[in-house]
Amino acid sequence: MKKCLVLILLLFFGFKGFSQDTRAEYEGGNAVFAKKFMEMLYAYVDFQNYVLEGKVTYLINIDKTGKANRIDVLPKIKNGEMFVDDSQYALKKVKGKWKPATKDGVAIDSKYIMKVDFKSNTYDHD
């Protein structure tokens, strides 16, 4: 019971980094970023190397200067490290700048969460 209480307290106080006044926003809007990122993903990632079926969540770190500098993928997938590296490369190919998130008028690091539903690119032959 004590472990649960300590864990809950740590989780409650550990997320202050996500507290922000304004969220990070891509120039032209986040929908524009999502479209450009998906174009680069399909251009530079060979999806035949990965088993992608269903929803994938991208966690993209936006730093204080407005640069998308790190990406993580959930849930973990087969050949996941290579897929994250390929996704990171596609992220670098997206041109444009982010307006960083702010807290109390000061730019802060933040996360942009993007959910993608990948459909299977394979089919059965008769």
What is the reported pLDDT for 10? 52
CA distance 12 to 26: 29
* 3-class state of residue 9 by DSSP: helix
Query: How far is residue 78's CA from residue 103's CA, in Å, rounded to a whole number?
Result: 37
Write down the domain spans for the chain: 25-120
pTM over the 0.75 mark: no
- Quick one: which H or E segment has residue 103? strand 101-103
pLDDT score recorded for residue 6 = 52
pLDDT digits (tens, 9 = 90+) for 97-125: 899 999 999 999 999 999 998 875 444 44
Crossing angle of helices 30-44 and 80-93, rounded to 10°: 120
| Per-residue pLDDT tens over the stretch 5-64 | 555 555 555 544 456 689 999 999 999 999 999 999 999 988 888 777 788 899 999 999
How many Å apart are CA 81 and CA 77, to the nearest integer?
9
